[in-house]
Amino acid sequence: MTTSDDTEDGEPTRREFIHIMAGVTAAAGAGATLWPLVDQMNPDASVLALSSKEVDVSAIAVGQAIKVMWQGKPVFIRHRTAEEIAEAEGTALSALKDPSARNENLAADADAEDANRRVDPNWMIVVGVCTHLGCIPLGTSSGENRGDYNGWFCPCHGSHYDIAGRIRRGPAPDNLDVPPYEFLSDTVVKIG
Ligand code: FES
């Protein structure tokens, strides 16, 4: 005896057909749900705009520094004096703890000489996150707490960074990162 669900010619039975259609419907539903998620992952212009930040540095006097936020991270912008530039450029590579430039604008194997840490010698721009355990170093105001090397000082465990953001003493292993940036004019820098 046969039932309506049996088949003799290899065609799907009625029960199998119902299961197949249920699967197709579920897949279509999943696809409909997935597409908005995928679409949301394509950054539009507003998201791309948030990934970069333009900063007017015209009000930062020589010798001063400011902190801005970029992609949720502090970025230090320091307007260096002529003496500070000379000091940074005159530091021997052999005196550095971390030999890498850690500059996202350059190749990974660039060394940490001052010229590889900035675009314009007058401006030192670094991510203000200590490479030890992620604290925010001090020294962004007009002169205090810049540590033993006149740059930035992380009091959490005593890491001293120099005027080019290079680690010179303390437990931090790496130089402060240099973020991607470019000057759009003499006074406006775009970070990111
Ligand atoms: S987090 Fe900066 S020295 Fe420990």
CA pair distance 123, 70, nearest whole angstrom: 17
- What's the 173 CA to ligand 1 centre distance in angstroms? 10
Domain 51-191 annotated CATH 2.102.10.10 = yes
H-helix or E-strand containing 77?
strand 73-79
Digitized pLDDT (tens) for each residue of the chain, 192 residues in all: 444 444 444 455 555 545 544 554 444 444 444 444 444 555 555 555 569 999 999 999 999 999 999 999 999 999 999 999 999 999 999 999 999 999 999 999 999 999 999 999 999 999 999 999 999 999 866 667 899 999 999 999 999 999 999 999 999 999 999 999 999 999 999 999
Give the residues surrounding ligand 1 with Cβ less than 6 Å away: 130, 132-133, 135, 154, 156-157, 159, 170-172
Of 127, 132, 138, the residue with max ligand 1 atoms within 8 A of its CB, to mutate for a pocket test, comes to: 132
Distance 3 CA to ligand 1 centre (A): 76
| Domain regions of the chain by residue span | 9-42, 51-191
Task: Show contacts of 159-164: CB within 8 Å, 24+ apart.
Answer: 159/130, 159/131, 159/132, 161/137, 162/87, 162/88, 162/91, 163/78, 163/80, 163/84, 163/85, 163/87, 163/88, 163/124, 164/88, 164/91, 164/112, 164/114, 164/117, 164/118, 164/124
